[in-house]
Amino acid sequence: MGLLNFFKRESNSAARLKKPATPFDAIGGEPAVRQLANRFYDIMSSDPMVADLYAIHPLPLERIRHVFYLYLMMWLGGPNHYEKERGHPRLRARHLPFTVTPTLKAQWMYCMRKAMYETVTDVQLAEKLLNALDALADHMVNAADKNGPQS
């Protein structure tokens, strides 16, 4: 689920002190994850380029912001409050009731890229996280676009 193997473990204890243990630690812990989750939904709710994505989300967004924050915190290797509140993520199963097309996935990634680059100062870390999230988002796609695949 998380990115626990994201960073290489080093045997030298001094080297371990220099590097954060998880991406959660590297981006700044709970406040940074909350900022990332909130910025994601701020972008989604205000950017006309992702109107289709916004339209499929339940309003108001407060509940889903919180759930997304809990999931990101767990996924990044932080506290696992998500499973305590909601059970196993089962992301694919939770998204199956919704039509998730390649276009909606691209809109989701657009929001995440903007939010990530605005809130995570380590660009290399942001890019690694975005690559992992892109692969995860690919797994959520469960329908083709109405006009065929997007290129």
- Write the pLDDT tens digit of every residue in 40-98: 999 999 999 999 999 999 899 999 999 999 999 999 999 999 899 888 878 887 787 78
- Residue 7 clears pLDDT 90, i.e. is over it: no
Q: What are phi and psi of 131, to 5 degrees?
A: -60, -45
- Residue 30 clears pLDDT 80, i.e. is over it: yes
* 29 contacts: CB under 8 Å, gap ≥ 6: 78
**10: pLDDT confidence band, cut at 50, 70 and 90?**
very low
**147: pLDDT confidence band, cut at 50, 70 and 90?**
confident
**In the CATH hierarchy, which fold is given to the domain comprising 24-140?**
Globin-like (1.10.490)
Q: Are 32 and 119 in contact (CB under 8 A)?
A: yes
Task: List, for residues 113-139, the tens digit of each pLDDT value.
Answer: 999 999 999 999 999 999 999 999 999
- Where are the chain's structural domains? 24-140
